Structure 1
Amino acid sequence: MRAILLLLALIAGGAHAEDAPADGRYSMTPAENGFLRLDRDTGAVAHCATENGVSACRAAADERAALMAEIDRLSKENADLRAKLAGAEAPKKPLPGEQEFERALSFTEKFVRRMMRLFREEAPESERL
Structure 2
Amino acid sequence: MRVISLVFFAAFLAAGAARAQAPAAEPPASEAGRFAMSPAEGGMLRLDKQTGAVSFCTVEGGLSVCRVAAEERDALQGEIERLVRENAELRAKLPGAAPEAAPRKGLPGEEEFERALSFTERFLRRMMKLFREEAPKGESL
**TM-score scaled to structure 1, two decimals?**
0.45
Which structure's relative contact order is higher, taking Cα pairs within 8 Å and 6+ residues apart? Answer: 2
More helix by proportion, 1 or 2?
1
